Amino acid sequence: MSYKQCLVVVPGIVLAFVLYTISQGFNNILGIELLGYDKSPISTAMFAILFGMLLGNIFKIRESFIKGLDFTQSYILKLGIICLGIQLKPFEFLEFGAIAIPLIVICIVSVLLVIKLLIKKLKIPTRMAYLISIGSTVCGTTAIMATAPVIKANKNEVSYAIANITLFGILSMLIYPYFANFYFDGNSLFIGLFLGTSIHETSQVAAAGLIYDQQFNSPETLNIATITKLIRNTFLVIMIPLFAFLYNRNTAKGQNYSIIKIFPYFVLGFVAMIIFRNLGDQAFFNSNNEIWLSTVENIKLFSKIFLTMAMAAIGLSTNLNDIKKMGYKPFMVGFIGMATVGIISILTIEFYIYYLF
C-alpha cells in the first residue's frame, strides 16, 4: 500500500477506533458499574455495531470515511482474528479434551444439519444461514465476523446474524445456570460442559459460569465451562475452511473450482498465533516471565480492539431498511439453533452419565 493510499484509509480507521472507545466505555458503565460484574458479560462488539448502525442511519457517511471503513472491515478484522489465537492453549486441554471434544463435535454437526433443513423449509438466504449456524455452534460474534468475508456475506447479513446470536446468547446466559443446576443436580462437571457448549459467546459463557459460581458456590463449574468454550473456539480453524468450501462449491455452478483460491489464509495466522502462545508458555513456564505475560495480554487487547473496530465499521455501513426486508425467519432459525445445541448437549451429557461415568 502506497503512502497516498495509507492517508486515504486513515479517517475511516480513526472513526472506527473512536466508536470502539465509546462502546468500551459504555459497556464498562453498564456491565461493571451498574450490573456489578468484575467483567461485563455483554459483548463490546454488540455496542459497537449498535452505535455504528445508529449513526450510519441517522447521518450520511462522508466519502472520505468509506475507504477506511472498508479497510477496517476487511484487513483489520482479519488481523483481529489472527491475534485472537493468542488466548488459546490447547496443549493444556488434552486430558479434558477427551471429554469435551466429542460433545462439541456432536453439537456442531447436529446444529448444522438442523439449520440445513430449515434453509429449505423457511427459504432464508444461504449466507445468512451459514452465519447463524457458525455463530451458534462455535463462538458467536467472532465466528460470524471470521466467516463473513469467506462466504462474501454483505454488511446487512452480518449485522442481522450478530443481532440474532447476541439476543439468544444473552437469554441462554441468564437462564441456563439455574436450569443446569436443577437438571444436573449440582454436578459441576456436567453443568460446566453444558454451559460451555450451549451458550454462544465466550464472554457469555464466562458470565454464566460466574453467575453459577456466585449463586451455588462452584468455581469448578466456571473453570470447566471456560475451558470447554475455548476448546470449542479452536474449531474456527476447521469450520471456516469448511464453510468456504461448501459455499463456493454450491455457487460455482460448473466453473473450475479450487479450494486454494477461496481458502481463508488468515486462518493460518490464527493457527500460528496458537503455536506461538504455546511455545512461549513452554519457554517461560518456570520463570513466569513478566515480559511474556505482558505480551500475551497486549495481543489479547489488540485482538479485542481490532474486532470491535471492525464491528463499528460494519454498523456504520449497515442499512436498517435492508435488514427489515429480511423478515422474522432468520430469528426463527437462531432460536431453533439455540434450542438444538442446548438439547443435543443435554442428551450427549446424559449418554456420558450412563455409559462413561
Per-residue pLDDT tens for 135-171? 888 878 878 888 888 888 888 888 888 888 877 887 8
pLDDT of residue 299: 92
Nearest to 350 by CA among 185, 233, 174, 141: 185
pLDDT of residue 165: 83
Instruction: Please state, in angstroms and rounded to a whole number, the distance separating the CA atoms of residues 97 and 111.
Output: 20
Instruction: Please state, in angstroms and rounded to a whole number, the distance separating the CA atoms of residues 248 and 127.
Output: 11
Residue where the block lists cell 461415568: 357
Average pLDDT on 324-341 reads 83
Residues 263-280 pLDDT 10s: 667 778 877 888 888 888
Is residue 90 within 8 Å of residue 158, measured between CB atoms?
no
pLDDT of residue 203: 67
The pTM (predicted TM-score) of the whole model is 0.69
What would the DSSP string read from start to end of 176-209? HHHHHHHHTTT-HHHHHHHHHHH-S-HHHHHHHH
pLDDT of residue 78: 81
Residue 104 has pLDDT above 50, yes or no: yes
The better pLDDT of the pair 102, 287 is held by: 102
What nine digits make up the cell of 216? 451455588
Average pLDDT on 92-115 reads 81
Residue 243 has pLDDT above 70, yes or no: yes
What would the DSSP string read from start to end of 205-227? HHHHHHHHHHHH--HHHHHHHHH
- Residue type at 345? S
Instruction: Please state, in angstroms and rounded to a whole number, the distance separating the CA atoms of residues 3 and 5.
Output: 5
pLDDT of residue 34: 80
Nearest to 84 by CA among 231, 314, 269: 269
Is residue 32 within 8 Å of residue 40, measured between CB atoms?
yes
Average pLDDT on 95-103 reads 79
Where do the structural domains in the chain lie, given as residue ranges? Answer: 3-355
Residues 41-72 pLDDT 10s: 676 777 887 888 889 888 888 888 888 888 88
pLDDT of residue 254: 45
Average pLDDT on 106-126 reads 84
Neighbours of 357 (CB within 10 A): 10
pLDDT of residue 197: 92
The better pLDDT of the pair 231, 346 is held by: 346
Average pLDDT on 323-342 reads 82
Does an H or E element contain 37, and which? none
Is residue 16 within 8 Å of residue 72, measured between CB atoms?
yes
